[in-house]
Homo-oligomer: A and B are copies of this chain.
């Protein structure tokens, strides 16, 4: 089911009768179906970092968060400038963790939630590194790891860094109202995580590897409430997960852990329902980062959101547990709601996308 309200009528799925071009299939096809790809050389995680604020440290994941901001403004004059430094600090910590220099990184992939991805752009300005800006809202972490992973896998780059995150104060000002306004929170709202994560990948000998990825399609089930993003994003997560299981001929039980980005508690329930309908029911091995990052008594309604939500949990809890051997095969699906402030005002529903990576230790 896909809903649109565009007035212009034209054929979306053009069928060309006269295909005359001879197809040349790539000599080293890495495609498993149209959406799912397999990495031949399997890029590995060689360094990682996550920085959060005190609120996330006080949540259920607190024991895995070692780097906590003393000041959510990081000594800057504005929250926007603070977010830039938050990204840079996460990147620097990941470089230290990977034991490589900034000058070793061939490609920096970054995006954030702010208009014209200024946190990513101004962070990239601090470094002398080839840079691609990406935008998949809260799916940035997997979009970056997939593009970076493909570049490594094919020899276009030796080391890639993916940085993303979010900041409660900048997201509120951008998408809702400035904090000073003191607006009441919406019933189904989620709390934007103040945090950034960075993952550095390379073709090294040891470490958790990225073996497969599924690139998402944009899905829209007609949700129009910008406060209820879990409901808007759950269909995208369903679509990508289902496609991955079909393309790899596997089932949810084949994985130690299946993680979605920031659907929140309601979105998590919706995804479970949608996956049951697809005959790929999710069991005890499923968790959502948004539903897992805050305690109930932290007053965050449906849980956490923002590109920093799954980016910080991936680079702490998930990879910690994989390196310790608790989890061997983890499906990590970051989801993004692709709206701007203006689209709900123009009575548009909220499209969403989800990109998946399979991590194996």
Contacts and interface: CB of A to CB of B under 8 A. Distances in A.
A99 B19 CA distance: 5
B131 A215 contact: yes
Interface in A77-107: 77-78, 80-81, 84-85, 88-89, 92, 95-96, 98-103, 106-107
A274 to B, nearest CB: 17
A23 B103 CA distance: 15
Contacts of A342: 80, 114-115, 118
A317 to B, nearest CB: 24
Interface stretch (A144-152, A253-261, A275-283, A321-329): A144-152
Interface stretch (A153-161, A176-184, A285-293, A297-305): A153-161
A143 interface: yes
A30 B84 CA distance: 32
Interface string A260-277: 000000000000000000
Given A21-B100, A130-B35, A77 B7 contact: yes
22 contacts: A6-B76, A7-B76, A10-B88, A13-B103, A13-B127, A14-B96, A21-B204, A23-B158, A23-B204, A24-B205, A27-B155, A28-B154, A111-B135, A115-B340, A115-B341, A127-B218, A131-B215, A131-B216, A133-B134, A133-B136, A134-B135, A135-B135
Instruction: From A28, A31, A35, A131, name the one whose CB has the most chain B CB atoms within 10 angstroms.
Output: A131
Interface stretch (A58-66, A186-194, A308-316, A346-354): A346-354
A46 interface: yes
Given A8-B85, A128-B217, A340-B115, A21 B134 contact: no
Given A130-B215, A215-B131, A343-B122, A106 B31 contact: yes
A169 interface: no
A239 to B, nearest CB: 10
Chain A interface size band reads 35 or more
Contact of A131 (B133, B150, B218): B218
A136 B130 contact: no
B154 A137 contact: no
A212 to B, nearest CB: 12
Nearest to A131: B218
A131 to B, nearest CB: 5
Nearest to A36: B130
